[in-house]
Structure 1
Amino acid sequence: ELDYPAADRYVYSSYRGTGGVPIPHLWQRFLYAWHFRDLRILLSRELSPSSRFLYRRQIRERVRQVMPFLLYDQDPYLVIQGGKLYWFFDAYTTSSRYPYSEHLPGFPFNYIRNSVKAVLDAYNGSIDWYIADPRDPLIQAYARIYPSLFQPLEAMPEPLRRHIRYPQDLFRLQVQQFAAYHMTDPRLFYNREDQWQIPNQFRNRRRLPMQPQYLILTLPEEPQKGSPNRPEFVLLSPFTPLNKQNMVAWMAARCDGENYGKLLVYEFSKQRLIYGPEQVEARVNQDPAISEQIALWNEHGSRVNLGTLLVMPIETSLLYVQPLYLEAEQGRLPQLTRVIAAYEDRVVMEPTLSQALEALFSPTGSRRSNR
């Protein structure tokens, strides 16, 4: 097969992995000809006793074919380690019969646990299954049924284990539930007087709920044993009151080391107004210099595409950062053109993030670039 084009030639390669099904016998070729409805498998002279069939190569289809009784996260991610590529899948055990538990709208289950981490070798197609939550009774039953299939999480090689992250789909469900169940006072809960919601964001010319975002930040916690907190990889989602736009809290899922899986909720004082994502976007649109520049770029065959608005906690304050991409109407190749940053009542737009932060926190106040 074609590997890659060189300067004046094409470089070809043959598959040298361990994946695939060998077909050394005629009866096997006959079965595959019937399976794929392709008579050429029987007649072709290109096939030899050392040939192998590689199929079900779509990663989602492959893991579901092996473990159809598990539910899989919608966002598998790729890891490069030791010169090889690995796909990570977060798999869930689910049930619709958990006592005294409600069903979320649109979901056929009322119990879900991220019990399995699946690692797929992108070259060989082999899959290793690791038990991430040994306390889950469902995965305990599956492990007894398939004793040689599942491995403990400690058996995952350490270089790969460092890339484990908290799954987005599970966190999204937890955030949705916590918006109501953070109320511990029965009277507040019954009257829904302190109901939260996931804020909206303007994406693709539509208002959509904000998706949780992975960030590297220093959590505002008390230092452990006198040592300062270090930056860590977290999955974060903000909250606003129901039918309001100011921010009241944010929730983070930790992903590093022994803190993996721990959820942290930070609530803001109700006596202080904290701008929410929709209010920050409104302030950006109302800024004369920024809105004028965006309107100018939206003409003459180009289009402005605002990226995801990132909410980054810094101690007891919030910093908002949003990339601005410029793309041609014909090419549709986005180019990072500006970075918008907001802090409290100040909004700036600069060519780079460092320049935006410098302008945002400069002693002379905010300055805006419309170049």
Structure 2
Amino acid sequence: MSDFAPGPTGTDEVLFAVDGSLGRILLNRPRAINSLTRDMVVAVRAQLLAWAQDDAVDVVSIEGAGERGFCAGGDVRAVREAHLAGTSGGVDFWADEYVLDAQIAEYPKPVVALMDGVVMGGGLGISMFAAARWTTERSRVAMPETIIGFFPDVAATYLLSRAPGETGTHVAMTGTTFTGADAVYLGLADAVVDHTLLPHLVQAIAGGGPVEPVPAGAGTSEDSALAAARGWIDECYAGDDPAAILRRLRAHDHPDARAAAEEISQRSPLSVAVTLEALRRAEHAGSVREVLETDTLVARGLLVRGDFDEGVRALLVDKDRQPRWGHDSLENVSRAEVLAVFSG
């Protein structure tokens, strides 16, 4: 096996190796659950470009260092700091990240994503469009952005809008964490693999073996709790009115529906409303790249409206979990305000 080493950009936050016919990418910020920095994104983009032209590399894998998870998302604290400092660093990070997501979705060689442990936000952006997407029994997956005044970006709405029934709407609006089996059910992953088997599967591919989205003996969505909850989820999340969805959840007999209502009520009202609009638009999008173009506008639109800075402050900076959102309820978010976010 080749040793992992920094790529041509020099950062040690992501490392690379060629093992047989496999080009391996190792996200290397384990203390931050491999949260993506701009340096990491730029380095991975450069290496993928090089490997696309390298006949010795047939397949690419993306892995996370450490035991905690694959990737907890983008470094939103750095984005907030850049915005508060009046620089374009945050917007630049998203621009680079979305280019990388499209690059993976359109890559000319199979990409294998090892979605073990925590896989959230931008971690899904670099894995859910791979050719083989393997979660494990340890996977904890989410698009939790509404809790920080943001929305499910990285083209997550492209897949979530196509998930069975309204399950994608539920996980997007609440930001709730779900399992590997749920990720398969939603269409974000292909299989649930025992985490101890991942090294063996990687070595088999490095030795020239086939890339199998569902390896022999792997599970799929049999144990999905979301599949079992379709009744109340589909009933409550129908339609385009976020306030009406919240009212139905609050009034429903099922305790999980009322729990979802409580989750949504703690999120940024503007972000929740924007998320529903993004989902409904993405359902009609023709490509991942088209959704990423919309995400670029929405990210900029939300960044200048205050809830993102406040949400990151409350959750990750001061950690008081007491955000002061710009709206006190979903009912007070106007349709005009939502549409304005989509204009950038």
Instruction: Give me the TM-score of the superposition, normalised by structure 2.
Output: 0.26
Q: Which has the larger radius of gyration?
A: 1
Answer 1 or 2: which has greater helix percent: 2
Q: Relative contact order (alpha carbons < 8 A, sep ≥ 6): 1 or 2 greater?
A: 2
Which of the two has greater strand per residue?
Answer: 1
TM-score by length of 1: 0.24
